[in-house]
Chains A and B, each alone.
Chain A
């Protein structure tokens, strides 16, 4: 089975721009979660999508948004980019019946640099 894939792997943007990142989960997985990883704040949960609906949300401003399509692929969007948005953005998929025992499998991430 193919793993979680994320595109693009690297992005360079300037302040004020917006960006869209894409994630394709493992085949059959219906839940996609997004995380931000920075040296200062570590790994932080952004939001989770399940069956095209946002199921949970972390503590991030409204500039961070996402969506999920009927094939479970997900995108996240960051508008009005700030320097502090420079980070590794990771998505994770799980089969997720909603059980707390479902393992999350991470993709390789998208490295976003904001100049």
Chain B
């Protein structure tokens, strides 16, 4: 089977940096995606890592270590609007290359 683990809740201060970790277990791993979802909204794509290393997109960065089955999402210069749920999701042979197996999500609360 497949499994993903990420913290259920994280609280951080506006302007700070927060890291959301994700460990996974799967076979036929293709890559790790990150999505943001505000309450009542649709998941929005943030980043995708297929290879080891860091990917940077503005204030958001994502890291992958395939050998450790581990990744993280780094959010810098936190803003109140970043309060949302963040999901890591694997692409693997088990669900087909194009589809996503999601973690349970991390609820990020940004406080003033």
Contact = CB atoms under 8 A, between A and B. Distances in A.
Given A56-B99, A96-B98, A98-B97, A103 B45 contact: yes
A101 B102 contact: no
Given A90-B43, A100-B31, A105-B45, A43 B102 contact: yes
15 contacts: A31-B98, A43-B43, A43-B102, A43-B105, A44-B102, A45-B95, A45-B99, A45-B102, A48-B96, A56-B96, A56-B98, A100-B30, A100-B97, A104-B45, A108-B42
Interface of A: 31, 33, 35, 42-45, 48, 50, 55-56, 58, 90, 92, 94, 96, 98-109
Given A92-B100, A104-B33, 12 more contacts: A43-B102, A55-B96, A55-B98, A92-B43, A96-B98, A98-B97, A100-B98, A103-B48, A105-B45, A106-B35, A106-B44, A108-B41
